[in-house]
Amino acid sequence: MAMAKFLFMPESAYGPTNNCIGIGNILRERGHTVVFAAEASWQGRLQPLGFVEDLVELAPPPPPTDGPEPAAGQFWIDFIRDTAPVFRLPTIEQLTQFIQPTWQALIDGAMYCQPQLQEIIQRQRPDVVIEDNVNCFPALVTAGVPFVRSVSCQPLEMKGPDIPPLFSGYPSDDRSQWADFRAEYERTHRAMWGTYNEWVQSCGAPPLADLEFIHEGALNLYLYPEIADYTAQRPLGSNWHRLDSSVRATDEPWTVPEQLNTNDPTSKLVYLSLGSLGSADVDLMRRLVAVLGRTRHRFIVSKGPLADEYDLPSNMWGAAQVPQTNVLPHVDLVITHGGNNTTTEAFHFGKPMILLPLFWDQYDNAQRVHELGFGVRLGTYSFEDDQLADAVDRLLNDTNLRDRMAANAATIRSRNGTVKAATLIEGLVSSSS
């Protein structure tokens, strides 16, 4: 086929961006041009991977300072840090104090960057547009080319009456709280959605479905392993395609640091990551490394953007960022916030999980992994020290679980999600020619 140009716009966080990098890299290797209309703090991070950067500001840029360059996704790092106290509340109370304000921040960003995106579309003239985000950017759906929706969030985002409400973290086999949560979501989000829907249509885009913040595309991709999906309870249309995993091949090589090598067979290697945003809660990270530092196991720690604000004990090695996809094959267990990227990558490499959810869909991932027996969900701020240490030992000693995870991982990897996605996206070019 003729070479084409694909424009990706991921949410300004590592999970969606890494998903797009994984798919975009396949398209690039096939000879296509791949443009990232990412948020401006990603400047200089995508071009070295072979992509074209044509970036957007989601808010007025701060005045120049002599300080360090902002981290990728700095906007959301700051937002999460300032909102962290709300993460101690039940999920139904977070609807008012976190979920609705987060949607509003996303909406404000979409409104601010609309003229920039229109200019990028005119400048780049892509053949296909791919958005990996949770809210609509009208310039992307009015570009006059096929629009692809990519979902890097937990698949409860594709709603249905027989699955728990998104953001709730409620179990699948107990519907007692579902109606109250949905009613509170309606109460707290209806007016905001209505205003947004009016603005979206004023930009020439189609109306949004009721209480939805993004359109479906000509092609819709979502990232989640079949073994944990809700397919039987919530079937999707024929233009929806599941990617069991989407693992980028761009991380730098990695070997276990010498300081963590040991001859003790009872000392296992564990990966600790609360994601690029969750790790901004430094007090929580300090508590976790203190508890885990008293165990006999060894830990690789993704310290996050505020890495310099806390130290690691002698049984740990860490850095602000680690090449996660190259670390995971070496470890026996993952301790995670339950972000979709880390959760699906843990499945991809066959690693059981301890989940400490903080916000958004992390509660849903934590509950799903827990109820299916692939790991343990703990109260992020309420766990007892012994609870965490015991969960680590229990999962590391569960040979049946390890074998199940390994078998699942082999199936997941054989489905090659990045190649599947790239091929589906390529097909839109030939079908629209």
Report the domain count for the chain.
2
Residue 250 forms part of a structural domain: no
- CA 336 to each of CA 324, 343, 344, 358: distance values in angstroms, whole numbers, following the listed order: 12, 8, 11, 10
Q: Show the domain range for 402.
A: 258-414
**Residues 410 and 420 placed together within one structural domain of the fold:** no
**Residues 14 and 146 placed together within one structural domain of the fold:** yes
- For residue 162, what pLDDT is reported? 96
pTM, whole model, 2 decimals? Answer: 0.91
How many Å apart are CA 305 and CA 7, to the nearest integer?
A: 28
- For residue 351, what pLDDT is reported? 97
Residue 251 forms part of a structural domain: no
Other C-beta atoms closer than 10 Å to the C-beta of 122 total 10
The CATH number assigned to the domain holding 225 equals 3.40.50.2000
Which pair of tokens denotes residue 266?
Answer: 């009872």
Residue 166 forms part of a structural domain: yes
**Residues 310 and 225 placed together within one structural domain of the fold:** no
**Residues 35 and 80 placed together within one structural domain of the fold:** yes
**Residues 214 and 319 placed together within one structural domain of the fold:** no
**Residues 378 and 428 placed together within one structural domain of the fold:** no
- For residue 66, what pLDDT is reported? 61
Which pair of tokens denotes residue 88?
Answer: 């101690």
**Residues 283 and 300 placed together within one structural domain of the fold:** yes
Residue 368 forms part of a structural domain: yes
- For residue 14, what pLDDT is reported? 80
Contacts of residue 296, defined as CB under 8 A and 6 or more positions apart, other chains included, come to 264, 266, 267, 315
Convert the pLDDT of each residue in 302-350 to its tens digit.
998 878 888 899 999 999 888 898 999 999 999 999 999 899 999 999 9
Ranges under pLDDT 50 in the chain: none
Among 143, 150, 151, 149, CA closest to 127: 143
Residue 249 forms part of a structural domain: no
**Residues 407 and 426 placed together within one structural domain of the fold:** no
Residue 252 forms part of a structural domain: no
Residues in the chain, overall count: 433
Contacts of residue 174, defined as CB under 8 A and 6 or more positions apart, other chains included, come to none
How many Å apart are CA 86 and CA 81, to the nearest integer?
A: 10
How many Å apart are CA 275 and CA 338, to the nearest integer?
A: 9
Residue 194 forms part of a structural domain: yes
**Residues 302 and 348 placed together within one structural domain of the fold:** yes
**Residues 205 and 262 placed together within one structural domain of the fold:** no
Convert the pLDDT of each residue in 81-135 to its tens digit.
677 788 889 999 999 999 999 999 999 999 999 999 999 999 999 999 999 999 9
How many Å apart are CA 201 and CA 196, to the nearest integer?
A: 9
**Residues 266 and 228 placed together within one structural domain of the fold:** no
Residue 359 forms part of a structural domain: yes
**Residues 236 and 291 placed together within one structural domain of the fold:** no
